[in-house]
Amino acid sequence: MNNKNKKYRETAEAILKNVGGSENVASVTHCMTRLRFNLKDMSVPDDGTVKKVNGVLGTMRAGGQYQVVIGQTVNEVYSEIVEAGNLTQSEPVDENLDAPKEKFSWKNLGSTILNKVAGSLTPLIPMLMAASIFKMLAAVLGPNMLNVIAASSDLYKTFVFVGDAGFYFFPIVIGYTSAKQFKTSPILGMFLGAIMLDPNLVKIVDAGKSFSIYGIPMHLTDYSSTIVPILLSVWVMSYVERFFERKIPASIRTIFAPTLTVAVMLPVVLCVLGPLGGYIGDYICNGILAFGKMGGIATVLGVALIGALWELLVITGMHLVMLSAMMLLFSQGGHDNFVTLGAVAASMAVSGMSLGAALRIKDKEQKSLALGYLVAGLIGGVTEPALYGVAIRYKKPFIGMMIGGFCGGLYASITHSTAYVLVPVANFLSLTAYVGGSTANILNGVISGVIAFIVAAIATYVIGVKTDEDISLSERSVNV
C-alpha cells in the first residue's frame, strides 16, 4: 500500500470509528465533496472529534444524514470506508441534493448564470483534452509545422476528424450536462442537441433556402461547435417538461410528456433561441467594428476591445461577423490592421492565463491540467480546454485573460502593426500573421503577442484562482 492509499485508509478508519463503527451505519454514499451516512443512532458521532480527523474539512447534519466534508478526494476515502467496514457500495448522489432551493435575487443573477454554465462545461474537460491532443498532433506533425505526415495521409486525416469530433458535437454533449444542471431529462437534452446537428437540418441550412417550423420562419443557423443555443434551449425545456409532467396523467405520461415537450421546443429552439446568439453577436461585433471606421484613438480602442472580448465572443458563437470582416479586409487590401490584431493577442492571452493559473493553483492535479491547457493552446492552437477548464470554471481568470488581450491589442494598434497573412491557427504560429511587412512590423506584432501572454499570466496570478481547495474550505467554514 503506497503512502497516499495509506492516508485514505487511515482517514476512513478514523471516520468510521467516530460515527459508531459499521454496526451503526445503515448505509453510506457520497456526493462530489461529502460522505453521506445514514446512521442508526445519530447521537453517536461527536462533531468536534470528527472534524479533528486528518482529511476532514467539516461536518453537517441534514436530510436525516450525517455528512462529512472531504473535498475532491471523497471517492478514495469512500472506497476505503466501504472496504474497511465491509459495507454495501452505493451510487454517488447529486451534490447539494438536500440543500434548500435558493430564492431568486438580481444581485446573485450573474453568479448563478456563471455557475450553471461552469457546471455544464466543466464535465467536458476530459473530452476536450483528448480532442485537443489529437488536434495538436495534426498541427505539429502536419504540413503547418514539422510536415512529418502529409495532409493526404490516413494518419493525418484520423487526427483531424477525431480532434474535430470533440468540438463539433458540443450541442449533444452539452445537452446532457446542462440537463443535469437544470434538473431535466438528460436524454431529451441530448435529443435537442442531435436535432440541431441532424444532417437533414444541415442540408437545409447549407442550401440557404427559406424554411419554417409550423409556419414560423426558421433562421438558417449552423449549430456545430456552438454552446449558447443548447444551454438556453435546455434551460427553457426544463420548465416545459415539468409542465407536461404535472399536467399529463401518469398512465400516458411516458408517451406524451417527452413528445409534447420536444414538439413545443422545436420552434423555440430553431426560430428563437438558436439564432439569438447570432442576432446579439451582430450588434456587438458591428458596434466594435464601428470603432475601426472612426480612426485615431477610436480605432486603437477598438483593437484593444477585440483583444479583450474575442474569446468571449468565440465561446458564445458571436464572433462570425468579426471573421467575415477579417476575411473582407484581406480580400480587398491583402492585409488587416484591425480585427486580426486583437484576435491574435486574445489567443496568446488564453495561454498566458493558463500559465498564471498553473502558477497560482496549489492542487497538483489541477496545476497539471492548467499546464496541459497551456500546451494545448500555445502549441496545438486549441483554446477551448483553457477557456472551459480555467476561465469559466474558476471565473476570476477570465478577467486576467481579458486584461492580457486588451494590452496586447492596444500595443499592436498603437505601433500601427499590420497583419499580412490570414493564419488559420490560434497557437504561437498566429504571430506569423505579421510576416510580409517591415522588420519593425514583425517585431511589434510578436511583441504584442508576448505582452498579451505575459500580462494575462501576471494578471491571472495576481487576481487569483478560486480552486476546489478554496471551495472545500468555504464549505468547511459554513458547516463548522
Could you tell me the CATH number of the domain that includes residue 8?
3.30.1360.60
- Residue 106: inside a domain, yes or no? no
Residue 182, Cβ neighbours under 10 Å: how many?
A: 19
223 in the same domain as 133: yes
**Among 444, 413, 407, 449, which Cα is nearest to 428's?**
449
DSSP string of 107-143, one letter each residue: TTHHHHHHHHHHHHHGGGHHHHHHHHHHHHHHHHHST
The parent domain of residue 67 ranges over 3-85
Question: What pLDDT is stored for residue 111 in this prediction?
Answer: 66
Of 281, 304, 320, the last residue of a domain is 281
C-alpha 353/C-alpha 395 separation (Å) is 12
Q: Over its length of 480 residues, how does the chain's per-residue pLDDT go in tens digits?
A: 566 688 899 999 999 999 999 999 999 998 878 899 999 999 999 999 999 999 898 888 877 889 998 977 888 999 999 999 999 887 776 555 444 455 555 556 666 777 788 788 878 888 888 888 898 888 889 887 788 999 999 999 999 999 999 889 999 999 999 998 898 999 999 999 999 999 999 999 999 999 999 999 998 888 988 888 899 999 999 999 999 999 999 889 989 999 999 999 999 999 999 888 667 767 777 888 888 888 889 999 999 999 999 998 887 767 767 887 888 788 778 889 999 999 999 999 999 999 999 999 988 888 998 999 999 999 888 888 899 889 988 889 999 999 999 999 999 999 999 999 888 778 898 999 999 889 999 999 999 999 999 999 999 999 998 654 444 433 333 333
Q: Is residue 95 part of a domain?
A: no
Domain boundary pick from 281, 313, 339 = 281
Strands 34-39 and 58-62: unpaired
Whether residue 400 sits in one domain with residue 255: no
pLDDT of 17 reads 94
Q: Are residues 356 and 420 in the same domain?
A: yes
Instruction: Kindly state whether residues 194 and 56 are assigned to the same domain.
Output: no
Count of domains observed in the chain? 3
pLDDT at 477: 36
Statement to judge: residues 442 and 392 lie in one domain: yes
Cell numbers linked to 465: 484562482
Which parts of 248-363 fold into alpha helices (H)?
250-267, 274-294, 297-316, 320-333, 339-360
Per-residue pLDDT at 476: 38
Within a domain: residue 90?
no
Whether 125 and 267 map to the same domain: the answer is yes
Do both 229 and 128 map to the same domain?
A: yes
Q: What is the largest CA-CA distance in the chain?
A: 80
Q: Is residue 206 part of a domain?
A: yes
Residue 290 lies in a domain: no
**H or E segment and range at residue 59:** strand 58-62
Count of CB atoms situated within 10 Å of the CB of 456: 33
pTM: 0.69
3-state secondary structure of 91: coil
**193 and 73, same structural domain?**
no
Q: Are 63 and 147 part of one and the same domain? A: no
Residues β-bridged to residue 25: 39
Element (H, E) at 408: helix 396-414
Residues 306, 270 within the same domain: no
Count of CA atoms in the C-beta half-sphere (13 A) of 401: 30
263 and 321: one domain?
no
Asked if residue 263 belongs to a domain, the reply is yes
* Cβ partners under 8 Å of residue 55, min gap 6: 7, 8, 11, 70, 73, 77
- pLDDT of 284: 77
Residue 104, domain member (yes or no): no
Residues 402 and 452 in one domain: yes
Q: How many alpha carbons fall within 13 Å on the CB side of residue 438?
A: 6
User: How far, in Å, CA of 26 to CA of 190, rounded?
Assistant: 37
C-alpha cell belonging to residue 346: 486574445
CA torsion through residues 266, 242, 109, 361, sign: negative
* Three-state secondary-structure class, residue 25: strand
Neighbour count for residue 250 (Cβ, 10 Å): 8
pLDDT at position 227 = 85
Predicted local distance difference test score (pLDDT) of residue 447: 97
Listed residues 70, 85, 100: the one ending a domain: 85
271 labelled catalytic: no
Which of these, 233, 235, 242, lies nearest to 265 by C-alpha position? 233
Whether 450 and 349 have beta carbons less than 8 Å apart is answered as no
- Would you state the pLDDT for residue 427? 86
